[in-house]
Structure 1
Amino acid sequence: MFQDFKLVSDRPVAIQVKEYVNRLIIKGALQADQKLPSTREMSGLLKVSRNTVIAAYEGLKDDGFTYAIPGKGSYVAAMVGQSTADNGGADGSATWQIDWKARMNEYAVSAVELDMMKQGIRAKKGTISFTSIAPDEQLFDMGDVRRAFMDRMAIEGQVLLNYGYAKGYKPLVDYLMRYMENKGVDISGKDMLITSGFTEGFDIVLSALRPSARRGAAICENPTHHTAIKNLKLQGFEITGIPMERDGIDVERLEAVLQTNSFDLAYLTPSYHNPTGIVMSSAKRSAVMKLMMRYQIPVIEDGFNEELRYSGAHIAPLIATAGQGNGVIYIGSFSKVLFPGLRVGWVLGDRALIDTLESIKRARTIHTSTIDQSILYQYLLNGNFDKYVKKARTEYKRKYELTKACCEAHLPEAQLSGDGGLHLFLTFPTGVHTRQLLEACTEQGVIFTPGDKFFIQEGEGTNTLRLGFSRVTDENIERGIQIIGKQARSFLKA
């Protein structure tokens, strides 16, 4: 006994000793009322200092795993509920087994089936991966983030470590309300809920708008964000997709569908649409909003990547074009441009709606991490955001132009879309099946995201793919696209 103790370098030694002995007691290797080796003897057995063992023994006693008899030493305490036999307790409860997969409901099974990350590619080390559209962590200004954390903790650290409010950290709510007002949004009659990123906000909104007596009906662009498709399906919505054109959703097709069907909501991503990268034109934004108003369909607007505009004039979000109207629910976050590790997003909408969503949020998770909210607030307050976004735009624009040029040179057969953001979308002639292309490219050390994952109906978009370039080096961008081009041409020849 005590021969398998191994130290790791990143934890206090006394805690490691305490946890090691603790595990021996729980496993039954050390029995109730058994005397532990003296502190001097244990220090020799584990090759640690005697003071370390003394501290570990004190911790075990404080946690109720041992007791001390003055002048005699430390002994193992009896544990309530500990198994009485190796093959189970006296009542056989330790052998109790449940088939959990058989117990899973339709929601749980669907969540697994729709889990794109779980179904994703297991790439080998050194693979050139175009699958991510997360920000490049090399751009993160760690000094400013550290300063924001220290500043906020110095001001109200004890408060931040306690429970917060379901609606959100008020200084951040106030800041983001002004931020949205600067985008042209009329905030009168509106309010905001802070969420743990876009996905939670979207799920909360869907759960509030889902009809009780029937399956819901949603309309969206086709293709669209896979996370949106997943959550709409999990919430029981039937989805109707409207094709995309070079400047956004096909308005004529949208109007035709609205004339013959009724919908509970629309989900739209007007800026740097995922996956196509298309920015909806001002004319189409106006036309879409008139249709939604005419048919009284609430719009969930995804503010995806609005900050990554590389050229041209500012285009107001849909919620801004709605003026004082309350028909648009805007969900935003800085996850793709700033720090996705800070799980902060926001829902901006009608005051009465937000009041209800606040109660749903409180019932589910009580509140979003106040520490995360306060760090983001102080970072924004310190004026770091504009400086960072300027740097990020410059770098991502350069990578965007490099990726676009490489695609035009090595993939001339593919039609490109993407006006900015962190990815490009490619549509090949029908002879190229991108899942088969992915298999061929994987063998050559390159992976990407097949485009069919973003389409509503199975069998659509089989000749499309998304290329994320934000975390790929210049050298690998060119080398990877060359490989994709070579494999694609072999498919076209075949």
Structure 2
Amino acid sequence: MTVAEPAPAHAAAPVPPLAARARSIGGSPVRDILAVTARPEVINFAGGLPAPELFDAEGITAAYRAVLAQAPAQALQYSTTEGEPALRSALAGRMSARGLPTDADDVLVTTGSQQALSLLATALLEPGDTVLVENPCYLAALQAFGFTGARVVPVPGDEDGVDPDALEELVLRERPKLLYTVPSFQNPTGRTLPAERRAAVASVAARRGLWIIEDDPYGELRFEGERVPWIASHEGAWDRVVLLGSFSKVMAPGLRLGWLRAPAKLRRACAVAKQAADLHTPTVNQLAAARYLADRDLDAHVARVAGVYRERRDAMLAGLAEALPEGSVWNRPEGGMFLWTRLPESYDTTALLAEVVRHDVAYVPGAPFYAGEPDRSTLRLCFVTQTPEQIREGLRRLGRGLRGR
């Protein structure tokens, strides 16, 4: 009996390509660096992670236990897209107490403030729209805007942040949809936009027609000086400024809890976009956060964290002159998590990173944070994750790595 030969296999047709936006937007260089420097012996100034030993684990655990014991059916069930009323009310109260009258209905709870940024990009931007950003700018914001096909244009500024006159010139010339800014203890530079500039930025937006996304994940982490009012609190800004907030830096990032405060029409558009993204932020996390705010003193906890961070900032500032090459300059942030450094022009911090990592220390090169032509001599240092002793040792290693170029 003859056995038939199997029919020749046909080559499978290729699957359709990824969307153009997915092909054109790269990953996060910061995440790539953290993967390379995950070895425990590395003193890592590259991350933007809060200090885990300062989390109020006891208080957060108690809040979850209370919620799951007293309202398990609610905590484990679907919730509304806008967020749990108890949490929205608590967030509105905190904003109102800080000079920005807010109702619970003004607030949309998001899965981290990064989701808020993504929702706003979806709701506001069409391919080809122009977005104005600080220079340098928070890296994940550049990614979020890039995914929409928007054109991202940096606004000139100085050590204090955005120049309002340069902003107005760009608004007139480029006709942008929005300005994105982190005005308090900015990522990556740690700088803070002064009160008079905030008022001027609000005035430009009111007179020229511009949305402002005011991202404030670090504002409560102030070590010294007086709190500067939000741009959103200035006259004429209420109908065009979206304020973003987060518990990631003041409570714990693993909760993935953020929020946006926005005018009604834009807030509703973001809610529709969120329905398509994840339906709602996890109910149990929202209820636990609301319970924590009711039972604990978050402001006192933040004050303790800020006190520790101030010691760590001071330790880094004390060691920079010896660690960095002559001619380097750096700033003195009044709060937050980051310090910005510029080495002499002959240094390329991206090219130097591999040599520095061989000395078991790491930083983030400044180049990825620029929407336009980068300053390749810059770098970002995070000072909150290590103890003062570790910071001093890390700076000694950094000095050796930079001298070994």
Q: Report the TM-score, using the length of structure 2 for normalisation.
A: 0.92
Structure 1 partner of 2:20: 106
Within 5 Å, give how 1:170-185 maps onto structure 2: 170-185=85-100
Helix, strand or coil at the partner of 1:240:
strand
Query: Could you tell me how far 1:259 is from its partner in structure 2?
Result: 2.8
Distance 2:307 2:131 in 1: 37
Structure 1 partner of 2:55: 140
Query: Could you tell me how far 1:370 is from its partner in structure 2?
Result: 0.5
Change (3 A) 1:189 1:287: farther
State which of 223, 227, 233 in structure 2 corresponds to 1:320. Answer: 233
Distance 1:473 1:350 in 2: 42
State which of 276, 279, 294 in structure 1 corresponds to 2:189. Answer: 276
RMSD: 2.3
State which of 134, 143, 149 in structure 2 corresponds to 1:236. Answer: 149
In the alignment, structure 1 residue 415 sits paired with structure 2 residue 346: no
Query: Could you tell me how far 1:179 is from its partner in structure 2?
Result: 0.9
Distance 2:54 2:11 in 1: 51
Distance 2:389 2:119 in 1: 42
Structure 2 partner of 1:159: 74
Query: Could you tell me how far 1:474 is from its partner in structure 2?
Result: 2.2
Change (3 A) 1:118 1:146: closer
Conservation of the 8 A alpha-carbon contact between 1:183 and 1:320:
no
Helix, strand or coil at the partner of 2:155:
strand
In the alignment, structure 1 residue 443 sits paired with structure 2 residue 361: no
Letter in 2 for 1:272: F
Change (3 A) 1:118 1:424: closer
Distance 1:335 1:128 in 2: 22
Helix, strand or coil at the partner of 1:440:
helix
Distance 1:316 1:384 in 2: 22
Conservation of the 8 A alpha-carbon contact between 2:322 and 2:399:
no
For the pair shown, which has the larger CA radius of gyration, 1 or 2? 1
In the alignment, structure 1 residue 470 sits paired with structure 2 residue 384: yes
Structure 2 partner of 1:221: 134
Structure 2 partner of 1:394: 307
Change (3 A) 1:378 1:99: farther
Query: Could you tell me how far 1:279 is from its partner in structure 2?
Result: 0.7
Distance 1:419 1:474 in 2: 17
Query: Could you tell me how far 1:217 is from its partner in structure 2?
Result: 0.4
Query: Could you tell me how far 1:413 is from its partner in structure 2?
Result: 2.8
Helix, strand or coil at the partner of 2:253:
coil
Query: Could you tell me how far 1:189 is from its partner in structure 2?
Result: 11
Structure 1 partner of 2:220: 307
Structure 1: gaps of 5 or more residues: 1-89
Letter in 2 for 1:470: V
Per-residue CA distance 1:390-439 (angstroms, 9 max, x = gap): 21011001101111111134325321123321121101111111012212
Distance 1:324 1:243 in 2: 22
Within 5 Å, give how 1:52-131 maps onto structure 2: 103-111=17-25, 113-116=26-29, 119-120=32-33, 121-123=35-37, 124-131=39-46
Letter in 1 for 2:358: E
Q: Larger deviation: 141-150 or 409-418? A: 409-418
Change (3 A) 1:445 1:374: same
Query: Could you tell me how far 1:489 is from its partner in structure 2?
Result: 4.5
Distance 1:118 1:146 in 2: 29
Conservation of the 8 A alpha-carbon contact between 1:186 and 1:323:
no
Distance 2:309 2:104 in 1: 37
Structure 1 partner of 2:343: 428
Letter in 2 for 1:473: T
Query: Could you tell me how far 1:293 is from its partner in structure 2?
Result: 1.1
Structure 2 partner of 1:372: 285
Distance 1:188 1:158 in 2: 27
Distance 1:170 1:370 in 2: 11
Change (3 A) 1:176 1:91: farther
Distance 2:200 2:403 in 1: 40
Distance 2:274 2:239 in 1: 21
Per-residue CA distance 1:467-491 (angstroms, 9 max, x = gap): 1122123222112212323443455
Distance 1:134 1:239 in 2: 27
State which of 338, 342, 362 in structure 1 corresponds to 2:251. Answer: 338
Aligned length: 396
